Chain A
Amino acid sequence: MEKPSQASQPPTTSKATKGAKGAKGAKGRAPAADIGFVGMLRWAWRQLTTMRAALILLLVLALAAIPGSLLPQRNQDPGAVSTFIEENGSWGEFLDTVQLFDVYTSVWFSAVYILLMVSLVGCIIPRTKHHFQAMRQAPPKAPRRLTRMSAYRTTPLATGAQQRTAEELLETAHEQLKKSGYRTVRNEDHIAAERGYLKETGNLVFHVSILATVIIMAMGGLFGYSGQRVLVEGDTFSHSLVSYDSFEPGTFFDANSLPEFRLTLDDLETRFDDEATGAQFGQPRQFDADVTLNTPEEETSFVLRPNEPVRVEGSNIYLIGNGYAPVITARNANGDVTYSGPVVFLPQDGVYTSTGVVKVPDASPDQLGFGGVLLPTTGRNDSGELISTFAELRNPLLVMDAYRGDLGLDSGAPQSVYQLESDSMEQLVGDDGQPFQMVMQPGDTAELPDGHGSVTFEEIRKYAALDVHHDPVQVWMLPFMALLFGGLSLTLFVARRRVWVRVSGDQVEIAGLARGEDPRVDEAVEELTQVLSLESLEPESADPDADSAPNRSGK
């Protein structure tokens, strides 16, 4: 592409000049009032497809992407968004109204990138046309005054001792240029040559690849799905919509297309660093899930790890998280079991201080709910409070409060399994008048006050948090990324230049014009001059600064 800023170069690439013209228009004047609707559209289109518009849109895009990193986002952490809105009252609601918690799907963010894509299309099409024509045309004839070009040399055609004709010289020049990969044309008194068409080709390929990337991303969202499932050791996940904890289908997702399989978590091995010092102490070192996969065809066992997903018929299964699930049994006053099973507790920090709740709707006389904290390795901090000191299960302790009343499960409103709606519940109080609290090690049983029965903390099992994803168009990313890199490298590192060799009188003129970034244009012309010079003669125009200048840079 032409560098419009280098004013000395003759305008040759229509896009650049058109862009510059449009840009001037943008600065200068609004559309005249009488151009009508179509004229208006045409004007807007011209504005949008200028380089200047692309540049502004890029800068706006960068700015528009930032708020998503400063505020919690619904797609990442909906819980944090609700908390934020609650804590910030009307300010939070205002931010929500302007979609600052859904930045990347917001109207304004979409508007920016869609405009950019439209601008891109409006840019690519005419440039492709123009480039196609340029590739079929001969290199343009030499301008009248070659001295104006960015590199210029002369060398004598003949001297008394050595004679050659213009014809001979041009022949040599022609061959030499061809050999160096130039496209050449022989004109009456000169050779015109051009090289580096791949620069523009690369540029177009690069921009098309960007467009393709955005389209593939959008399609992935439409046709794919993703789901989450927490799986406790020993449990099996039968792949179907109902067995997901949460599921986000794309717009055109077809539920019948879910592949059929069952996945059993046999064992989860986790290990943390108990030797390192400072911030490295307690860091995770190993998460290995032994799983068994049953598809209609076969049964396989393997280890599922971070960074090592399992791919089953286009669906990918990832080990995303892990934690502890205390197994709790609740009994009523008669000793009948009202609840029994593992309860998933969510780790809150690096030492796996975990919180969770147990809901016992079948308890009598009232429904019961327990909220608790699990400490995998119990210790005390400086002020004597119980804390966890390490993530592995070395000295676990479960501390729970108990609530009675209405769990609110019948109201139909969706509830988190990790939270008690304790507003309509009442905390149980012990004999001493203090809130009742159970402090249990595995195997312990606590009697609840007021005939509410008992709670047994049986054991602790580990669980794995799994993500399942399906994106049918994802594979297309690979070729387009390859094209994107190829195109980008070509456009940035191929030099496009024109060279002319002309015989005028008894002089040979050799001139080069860089088209875009070209650090070697002068060198190339110099080399050609060496080849074309009569052996014994120095090129006349050897750079006069060459001797004194190098140290300028160091001084």
Chain B
Amino acid sequence: MDVNVALAQWSNLLIYSAMAVYAIAFIIYAFDLFGPAFAGDTQKVEEKAGRRSGRSTRPETGKAASTAAQRGGAAGSGTTAVLDDAEATGTSGAGDSADGGDAGKTLDVRRWARAGTALTVLAAAFHVGAIVTRTLAVMRVPWSNMMEYALIASAVVSVAYLVLLRFRDFRYLGTFVTFSVLLVLGLCITVFHTPAAQIIPALDNYWIWIHVPIAILSTVLLFLSAIFALVQIVRSRSESKPWRGPLRFINALPGSKDLEKTSYRFAAVGFVTWTFTLVAGAFWAEIAWGRYWGWDSKEIWTFVVWVVYAAYLHARATRGWTPTRVAVLNLVGIATVIFNFSIVNLYFNGLHAYSGV
């Protein structure tokens, strides 16, 4: 009924294109991580162990970096400012390093990261294009089944990552971000795949404009928080015992205290929006099913997610909980979020069975 088939096909085509570009970006970003920018730094760290690494892991890093971001922001070109900074140190870093390489190489030590970011921008454009064409194909709310939800959430992750780059150089996350977005898109065209169509009456209500986008936003925020928590955990290990081998790039990441703060900020906002998702869901349930809370399987898991993040926030303020343990709780949190989206939607019965799959 009322589906523009041509546009729907365009949407699928754009998804495939985005996937191809994300895949290349992923590989290129990996070159950056394992390449000279991080390795050079590591050598330096190893050479001048005490003084140098002591400084690089100081918590002040974050503060100074945000000052830099402000400077960049004030100049009206945050990204370039940060990129230039990175390049500048890249130069000195590689110059320091023992191999004494040729000038061309040392000049642009993070060219892989730059290429990766450029490709991510292109992929994100395809990705957003896929959402727009699909929406135009059906002319209705663009998030009414699992595929559309995942399509949008992954686009928001990708766009949020690009926007955050303007404030701070997070490109060390590029590999991870492009990989996870690629994975989600892969699921979108296989397991979650749902042909473009109109909406079912149970969803045809203004609450879908409130409940679902906030849920998507929360998922993205909590996901970003979890990425930082994960990096924090591996980074924290490297502070007592530096990594060797291919994982040595970890030693050059920002300090774990800094990462923990970023992770917490995303989680705090994510907790508020998740609370809103839950409460909005209860309001909707009241008009859809006649009760605001009934322990339906989706309600159960949304509650579990909420309680786990409440525990995370408490753990942070409880003596005896080390930052690493708190970060593990954060990862448990994102695991419940993912479970709630995937397993509960696909395998559990309930009123909330709108996967469309």
- Would you give the 0/1 interface string for B168-197, flagging 1 where the beta carbon is closer than 8 Å to chain A? 111110000000000000000000011111
Task: Confirm or deny: B154 has a beta carbon within 8 angstroms of a beta carbon on chain A.
Answer: no
Output the nearest chain B residue to A286 by Cβ-Cβ distance: B201
Whether A545 contacts B300 in the complex (CB less than 8 A), given A287-B201, A554-B169, comes out as no
Number of interface residues of B (CB under 8 A): 91
Select which of B82, B207, B261 is within 8 A of A519 by beta carbon. B261
A62-70, A251-259, A496-504 - interface stretch? A62-70
- Are A477 and B172 touching (Cβ within 8 A)? no
Q: Which chain A positions have C-beta within 8 A of B34? A: none
A550 in complex: contacting residue of B69, B200, B272, B289, CB < 8 Å: B69
How many Å from the CB of A294 to the closest CB on chain B? 21
Q: Once the chains are docked, how many angstroms separate the CA of A468 from the CA of B289?
A: 10
A474 & B319 in contact (Cβ 8 Å cutoff): no
Complex CA gap A89/B69 in Å reads: 65
Closest to A307 in B: B205
Q: Is the CB of A273 within 8 A of B197?
A: yes
- Docked complex Cα distance between A307 and B211 (Å): 14
> Is the CB–CB distance between B321 and A5 below 8 Å?
yes
For residues 28 through 70 of chain A, which have their beta carbon under 8 Å from a beta carbon of chain B? 51-52, 54-55, 58-59, 61-62, 65-66, 68-69
| Interface presence of B237 (CB below 8 A) | no
B61 interface hit (Cβ, 8 Å) = yes
B200 touches A284 (CB 8 A): yes
A59 to B313, CA, bound (A): 12
Does B338 interact with chain A (Cβ within 8 Å)? no
Kindly supply a per-residue 1/0 record for chain B positions 188-228, scoring 1 wherever the CB is within 8 Å of any chain A CB and 0 otherwise: 00000111111111101101000000000000000000000
Q: A68-B300, A546-B64 are contacts. A492–B272 as well, Cβ < 8 Å? A: yes
Query: For the complex, is A1 an interface residue (Cβ under 8 Å from B)?
Result: yes
Q: Is A309 an interface residue (CB 8 A)?
A: yes
| Residues on the A chain within 8 Å of B68, using CB | 546, 549-551
**Contact status A62-B296, CB under 8 Å:** no
What number of A-B contacts does a CB cutoff of 8 Å give? 233
A contact residues around B318 at 8 Å (CB): 4-5, 19, 23, 51-52, 55
Given A69-B301, A279-B195, A550-B69, verify A104-B317 contact (CB < 8 Å): no
Asked whether A55 lies within 8 Å of B315 as measured between CB atoms, the reply is yes
B198 touches A73 (CB 8 A): no
> Interface code A277-288, partner B: CB below 8 Å = 1, 0 otherwise?
111100111110
Q: In the assembled complex, how far is the CB of residue B308 from the closest CB belonging to chain A, in whole angstroms? A: 5
> Which residue on chain B has the smallest CB distance to residue A552?
B61
B20 contacts partner chain A, Cβ-Cβ < 8 Å:
no
Q: Do the beta carbons of A65 and B303 come within 8 Å of each other?
A: yes
Segment touching B, from A175-183, A436-444, A481-489 = A481-489
Partner-contacting stretch, out of B83-91, B97-105, B127-135, B240-248: B83-91
Binary contact track A310-325/B, C-beta < 8 Å → 1, others 0? 0000001010100000
Known: A52-B318, A519-B265. A76 touches B294 (CB 8 A): yes
Shortest distance between the CB of B133 and any CB in chain A (Å): 17
B142 within 8 A of A: no
Give the docked Cα–Cα distance between A280 and B192 (Å).
12
Residues of B contacting A61 with CB < 8 Å? 307
Please report the C-alpha to C-alpha distance between residue A385 and residue B87 in the assembled complex, in whole angstroms: 71
**In chain A, what residue has the closest Cβ to B252?**
A555
| Cα separation A488 to B313 with both chains bound (whole Å) | 12
Nearest CB to that of A61 among chain B residues? B307
**B window 46-65: CB within 8 A of A:** 55-56, 58, 60-65
Residue among A4, A73, A307 making CB contact with B319, cutoff 8 Å: A4
Chain A residue nearest to B70 (CB atoms) is A523
B31 adjacent to chain A (CB < 8 Å): no
Q: Let me know if A554 and B172 touch, CB within 8 A.
A: yes
Residues of chain A with a CB closer than 8 A to B297's CB? 69
Measured in the bound complex, the distance between the Cα atoms of B2 and A343 in whole Å is: 36
B290:A55 contact, CB within 8 angstroms: no
A239 at the binding interface (Cβ < 8 Å): no
Known: A318-B289, A553-B61, A554-B86. 20 other contacts (CB 8 A): A5-B317, A51-B318, A58-B311, A273-B197, A278-B194, A279-B357, A280-B197, A283-B356, A306-B288, A308-B205, A320-B290, A471-B291, A481-B279, A488-B272, A489-B272, A519-B261, A549-B63, A552-B254, A553-B168, A554-B171
A-B contact pairs, 8 of them (CB 8 A): A4-B318, A16-B317, A20-B319, A55-B318, A481-B279, A489-B272, A492-B272, A547-B64
**Residues of A participating in the B interface, judged by any CB pair closer than 8 Å:** 1, 3-5, 16, 19-20, 23-24, 27, 51-52, 54-55, 58-59, 61-62, 65-66, 68-69, 73, 75-76, 103-104, 217, 226, 273, 275-280, 283-287, 305-309, 316, 318, 320, 467-469, 471, 474, 477, 481, 484-485, 488-489, 492-493, 516-517, 519, 522, 543, 545-555
